[in-house]
Amino acid sequence: MITKGLLFEYFAGNSTVLQKRMIESWLIKEENKEKYYIWLAEWEKEYPQYLPDVEFKLGDYLFQMNESNKSKISVAYKSKGKKSIKLFHFLAYAAVFILFVSLSFYILSFQKLIIKEVKTNFGEIKEITLPDGSELTLYSNSRLSWSWLNFNNSRIVQLDGEANFKIKHISKATKFKVQTKNHVSIIVYGTEFRFFTRNRGSKIELNKGLIKLQYKEGEKTKTIALTPGESISLNKENKLTQRSKFNPLRNIEIKKHRFVFDNTPLSELKNLIPENFGLKIIITNKEFEKLTLTGTYTGNSLNELITSLSEVTGLNIYKYHGRIYIDSY
């Protein structure tokens, strides 16, 4: 039986070989990992690790070395004194560098322990339930992360890619928030929405409830409130490019479909295919790019998508040497 007391002894480095093996076997189960991280954080707070006062210790060390050099300067040759000072400076800088690297490694290691991250590969979809009961569908080539320690208080997640959210409303709880590396954030008030955020821009489609979109355009921070059935698109510079209406009921029904086309130009496949399957697409005729697609795709593989698109467009769509080609028959 793994208890909090046993883990505290383990964190302190006092566990026996047998206890360590028991803990390793216990951690194999996913549900035990959350307890491990929570108790680790509790132990860190109760027994904080020693963080040296680098500036004070280095200053004291330099002072002592300087006094030592003064006492020897009368009997040392001038050239040797210069060499000693250079050597001292080198050793001092090396010591500071080593200490900085050690502290950085410690901080990064601790962050990895407290951050939960879920990824999807190309062509993969995952269903995720967050600690507060909120649910989401994480689409292909996407990443979602949050902190184990304070999620229930902050309710903040970081998204890179595409996901469909169904946020659980909790009375008197902190509002749910989705952040991105593009300086785009969504503040959620118990709702369902689809969020796309990649290097080429962001797109938000609100199905139910209310959300506030915050984004940084240049030096200005802007806020837009969305109501159900509204869609907003931003380009890679976070400039508003489109604000339109759509049918939220239709969007909810197809939330697990991989692709949704609504008069979408065929040229859009140049973005969708690389982002979701990691393959470059070649359209041999510029006129083909003007064709539009309407409908949904529910397949689970690139081959199924290619077959469906070929039947709809009447074009020859095939994979060859790691690329997708669109050509006429």
- Got the DSSP string for 74-112? TTS-HHHHHHHHHHHHHHHHHHHHHHHHHHHHHHHHHHH
φ/ψ of 246, rounded to 5, equals -150, 170
Contacts of 139 (CB under 8 A, 6+ apart): 120, 125, 161, 162, 163, 164, 258, 276
**What does the pLDDT look like over 12-23, one tens digit per residue?**
777 787 777 788
Q: What is the pLDDT of residue 63?
A: 53
* pLDDT over threshold 90, residue 282: yes
Q: ∠ CA(274), CA(179), CA(234), 5° rounding?
A: 55
d(CA 199, CA 238): 11
Q: What is the pLDDT of residue 186?
A: 92
**What does the pLDDT look like over 87-132, one tens digit per residue?**
666 677 777 777 666 565 545 444 556 789 999 999 888 999 999 8
d(CA 107, CA 302): 41
Q: What is the pLDDT of residue 167?
A: 92
Q: What's at 244, amino acid-wise?
A: S
Q: What is the pLDDT of residue 88?
A: 63
User: 259-327: which CATH number, 3.40.50.300, 3.40.50.2300, 3.30.1330.60, 3.55.50.30?
Assistant: 3.55.50.30
What is the distance of C-alpha 294 from the center of its chain? Answer: 32
Give percent of the chain above pLDDT 90: 37
Q: What is the pLDDT of residue 223?
A: 93
Q: Is 227 exposed, middle or buried (0-12, 13-18, 19+ CB in 10 A)?
A: exposed
- Cβ proximity of 276 and 141 under 8 Å: yes
* pLDDT over threshold 70, residue 43: no
Q: What is the pLDDT of residue 237?
A: 93
* pLDDT over threshold 90, residue 137: yes
Q: What is the pLDDT of residue 113?
A: 63
d(CA 92, CA 55): 12
Q: What is the pLDDT of residue 50?
A: 46
DSSP 287: G
φ/ψ of 73, rounded to 5, equals -70, -25
Token readout for 321 is 């040497």
Q: What is the pLDDT of residue 215?
A: 94
d(CA 208, CA 194): 10
Among 230, 196, 235, residue whose Cα is nearest residue 212: 230
E runs forming strands in 96-219: 115-119, 126-129, 135-138, 143-147, 156-166, 176-179, 184-188, 192-198, 201-208, 211-217
Q: What is the pLDDT of residue 105?
A: 53
Question: Does 2.60.120.1440 match the CATH number of domain 120-253?
Answer: yes
Q: What is the pLDDT of residue 25?
A: 81
Q: What is the mean pLDDT of residues 142-157?
A: 88
**What does the pLDDT look like over 185-230, one tens digit per residue?**
999 987 899 999 999 999 999 999 999 999 999 889 999 999 999 9
* pLDDT over threshold 90, residue 252: no
